[in-house]
Structure 1
């Protein structure tokens, strides 16, 4: 039985009122949840002083045997108290191009041993901050060039089951340029090439170049990859857009992968070309580093298509030839002769 119009109108108004009331009650709760700080969070930053102001990280140019002091500020931006360990460790570049720091399971042997914080631990309440002073002591026999480390704050806490110990680390880089002969150098290693043709025989395939870029010098390095590819005798040259490579710490290396679209000309050759550049103090471009390569690039999909067409043509030709070569049916010939004689007798 349908409701009276007045009753329907009253019910609709009541529903709207309840919805508005729920929205007004839930909105502040949702806003508070969105604005609430995370339970565990903190920041680290440099402190302005005699060593510099407005610095993104710590960087020094010193002589062997030098000693200096500086300060890092740590702020608890989370909602719970924090107990942080403070220590230094060597820095390195990962194969993927990220800057990472040694863990406590990998003892430092370089600049990570030069940096010592005045405190080994911090306890901070929510919103509280503390300045951590530290000392950098450069050995008298330190090798010239860039030495990289990080000053780390570490929070160890269990997961919800308290069966997994999680180490959350946050730190800032410390780079020490020791005076002496600066010798930036880079090497292209382990070059491999593969060619993947397109499924469409009329579209170019993909040449994949993979290599390792190793910093074999004593300064921080970056660079630009401008690798090229071409068909036989240098024809039909192709190249991807130049790629700015990650910063590489001395002694580290990164893995680089480039993809260049090029048609399968049977043989594709080219050059892995890296234009390195020393960064930091006294930054300067260096001579380009190149490596020649060559790879078979066969248009397999096109060959398969031609093969299928060729096989079909041969099959059709063989079938037709067999039909033409088949002997005539004797019974059919005999019936034909009888019919011909009968027509001859009628004519006479």
Structure 2
């Protein structure tokens, strides 16, 4: 672990010439520069390229590392820099907040890089004395014009860690063929969850998917809304869907939901056929009643002879 003095001094930017290109470089298009962690830095030094920064320290310490910027083009570039906290968007993607993180201090918020040159920019992370143990995801952002490059900064405050998550709000979207659910990180470490799905119906097992790694990094205290495709559910059944989610450190959670699948098109067709048959039967009965009444009205009434007539005869 590397520490620096509590007050970060003003550090000069280190400029190194890049190898000259064989031919004259084209004018910069805003997408030729690069930003990455410098080699050999962080609390886990590595001479090889690092995909992200990793800094770990106890509350009250100040940690340091270096951001490396390169300009291989033939014209000078001026990049703006900031450090900010990272978070999960609603769909689980990682994003960087617009407001600066007070823990992060860069040697300079703006860097001018001459042509064919690399600039190493020191920065520090101050862990407050009362900081809670666990992960504090952040990022350094380099920007020029409309282009931004985010370099992940993983800060861990030393102390006890807890891996815990819950799966919630499970529901089956039968119209879209999806299982919708939410994941919530209840611990203080970033998690990469694994999901297993099973559905049991009246007619047997309708779905059985082995655990698989989700393309999501769930940050502490974050909630994400995810979906699991189910393009071929049963045509007619009532099922109980169970989701099992696990992650490193022993994190585990399960949740269930019930759903009914009914072929409403066939049911509607059968219902229309029944209604049509009933209507035809009613019309037939009414037609017969009208015919019967009409026949009764046309038949003459029988003549009755009075007692007096019979007496005269």
Q: Is the structural similarity TM-score above 0.5?
A: yes
Report what 1:53 is aligned to: 47
Output the aligned Cα RMSD: 3.0
Matched, 1:270 2:234: no
Matched, 1:73 2:39: no
Report what 2:301 is aligned to: none
The answer as to whether partners of 1:210 and 1:257 remain within 8 angstroms in 2 is yes
Match runs of 1:77-156 below 5 Å: 77=72, 81-104=76-99, 107-108=100-101, 113-155=102-144
CA 1:141 to 1:213, structure 2 compared with 1: closer, same or farther past 3 Å? same
CA 1:68 to 1:48, structure 2 compared with 1: closer, same or farther past 3 Å? same
CA 1:78 to 1:99, structure 2 compared with 1: closer, same or farther past 3 Å? farther
The offset of 1:190, in angstroms, is 3.1
Structure 1 residue runs of 5 or longer lacking an equivalent are 1-34, 158-165, 197-205, 279-283, 331-348
CA distance in 2, matches of 1:290, 1:78: 53
The answer as to whether partners of 1:40 and 1:78 remain within 8 angstroms in 2 is no
The offset of 1:37, in angstroms, is 7.0
Q: Per the alignment, in what secondary structure is the counterpart of residue 248 of structure 1? A: coil
CA distance in 2, matches of 1:142, 1:327: 94
TM-score normalized by the length of structure 1? 0.66
Matched, 1:40 2:30: yes
Q: Per the alignment, in what secondary structure is the counterpart of residue 174 of structure 2? A: strand
Q: Deviations over 1:199-235 (max 9, x none)?
A: xxxxxxx653222211111001011222222323x73
Q: Deviations over 1:161-181 (max 9, x none)?
A: xxxxx5x32131111222211
Q: Per the alignment, in what secondary structure is the counterpart of residue 97 of structure 1? A: coil
Pick aligned residue for 1:217 from 181, 184, 187? 187
The answer as to whether partners of 1:39 and 1:80 remain within 8 angstroms in 2 is no
CA distance in 1, matches of 2:30, 2:78: 10
The offset of 1:239, in angstroms, is 3.8
The answer as to whether partners of 2:88 and 2:95 remain within 8 angstroms in 1 is yes
CA distance in 1, matches of 2:27, 2:273: 68
CA 1:240 to 1:78, structure 2 compared with 1: closer, same or farther past 3 Å? farther
CA 1:79 to 1:96, structure 2 compared with 1: closer, same or farther past 3 Å? farther
The answer as to whether partners of 1:229 and 1:262 remain within 8 angstroms in 2 is no
CA 1:36 to 1:313, structure 2 compared with 1: closer, same or farther past 3 Å? farther
Q: Deviations over 1:126-167 (max 9, x none)?
A: 433211111222222221111111112123x4xxxxxxxx5x
Pick aligned residue for 2:265 from 298, 301, 306? 301
TM-score normalized by the length of structure 2? 0.73
CA 1:300 to 1:115, structure 2 compared with 1: closer, same or farther past 3 Å? same
CA 1:129 to 1:308, structure 2 compared with 1: closer, same or farther past 3 Å? same
CA distance in 2, matches of 1:227, 1:207: 14
CA 1:270 to 1:136, structure 2 compared with 1: closer, same or farther past 3 Å? same
The answer as to whether partners of 1:49 and 1:70 remain within 8 angstroms in 2 is no
The offset of 1:247, in angstroms, is 0.5
Report what 2:4 is aligned to: none
The answer as to whether partners of 1:228 and 1:271 remain within 8 angstroms in 2 is yes
Q: Per the alignment, in what secondary structure is the counterpart of residue 288 of structure 1? A: strand
Structure 2 residue runs of 5 or longer lacking an equivalent are 1-24, 296-313
Q: Deviations over 1:292-320 (max 9, x none)?
A: 21234332112112113323444555566
Match runs of 1:286-297 below 5 Å: 286-297=250-261
The offset of 1:186, in angstroms, is 0.8
- Greater RCO (Cα-Cα under 8 Å, separation 6 or more): 2
Report what 1:182 is aligned to: 161
